Amino acid sequence: MRKPSEYDKIKKLNSEHDYVNHLAEQVVEDAREIQIHTVAGMCDNRHILTLKKNVDGDFKLHRNGQAYSNFGIKYYQYELEWAADAGDFVRVFEMINSGFQVVEKVKSRA
């Protein structure tokens, strides 16, 4: 039997509803930037997704050099952005977790 990878450990944590709520609680009120740290399933590579507010006050997703398809998220990018605009970060993290990567930690600033 193989040893569980970092991805496996974080995927298990994320499957527990309380952990996703814990991540959402890390987002400060009226955040203008949110750094979402992820871990890939096949190789434990780490990436950062960034949600930043634009001049209109809407969140835009930045993938920091990675293609959106690399994350395997089963939702369109605009769906993540709109959920973030609505302040539904539990939903944002659940959408990200639907792909090839899982959310490890979250940092934000107002």
Give residue-wise pLDDT tens across range 52-92. 999 999 999 999 889 999 899 999 999 999 999 999 999 99
- Which pLDDT does position 70 carry in this prediction? 87
Q: Considering the entire predicted model, what is its pTM?
A: 0.87
Highest mean pLDDT of the ranges 29-33, 43-47, 101-105:
29-33
**Are the C-beta atoms of residues 14 and 97 closer than 8 Å to each other?**
yes
Among 38, 10, 28, which Cα is nearest to 107's?
28
Distance in angstroms (rounded) separating the CA atoms of residues 101 and 22: 18
